[in-house]
Amino acid sequence: MIVSAARFAELEALEPKKSMAQRKREFNAEYKDWIAAQNELVEKHGLWCEGMVAWQDVP
């Protein structure tokens, strides 16, 4: 979809303004099950890139 910059600004102005903290709370509430599943996978199996990235080799 292509919209003009002016129309985009109008649409953006209609959106309710939320703080980053509010957006984070809403995201965490909506995706809490997915976040928990991802955390469980990392705890069980570690990071998928374990040992494959340079910054992990630094003591």
Cα–Cα distance measured from residue 28 to residue 35, given in angstroms and rounded to the nearest whole number: 8
Per-residue pLDDT at 48: 86
Would you kindly state where each structural domain of the chain is located, as residue ranges?
Answer: 18-56
pTM of the model: 0.60
Cα–Cα distance measured from residue 56 to residue 50, given in angstroms and rounded to the nearest whole number: 8
Contact 11, 3 (CB under 8 A): yes
Cα–Cα distance measured from residue 41 to residue 48, given in angstroms and rounded to the nearest whole number: 10
Nearest to 35 by CA among 22, 20, 25, 48: 25
Strands in the chain per DSSP E = none
* Per-residue pLDDT of the chain in tens (59 residues, 90 and over written 9): 899 999 999 999 998 899 999 999 999 999 999 999 999 999 999 888 888 888 777 66
